[in-house]
Amino acid sequence: MDGLPGLEKLFLETFPNARTARCWVHAMRNVMAKTPERLREPFKEISDRIMYASSEDVARRNFLELKTVMDADN
């Protein structure tokens, strides 16, 4: 769902067993706009590995790497 007012509510009323999620493209655009320039390249590269991971375990490992990389810059 892309944040359109009422869309998610209507969708869930029609498909009560469905699960919804925010569009990755729109979410990534918003996050990248707030990411400091010096961190954008590593953030985007690791985020893509999370998004397109072959399993939940792989995604979680990549997420831990992302946290480590972002913490190291502070």
> Is residue 69 classed exposed, middle or buried when 0-12, 13-18 and 19+ CB atoms within 10 A define those classes?
middle
Does the pLDDT of residue 1 top 70, yes or no?
no
Q: Give the pLDDT band (50/70/90) at residue 74.
A: low
pLDDT at 73: 63
pLDDT digits (tens, 9 = 90+) for 21-62: 878 888 899 999 999 999 999 999 999 999 999 999 999 999
The residues spanned by each domain of the chain are 24-72
Three-state DSSP at 46 gives: helix
Average pLDDT rounded to a whole number, residues 4-13: 85
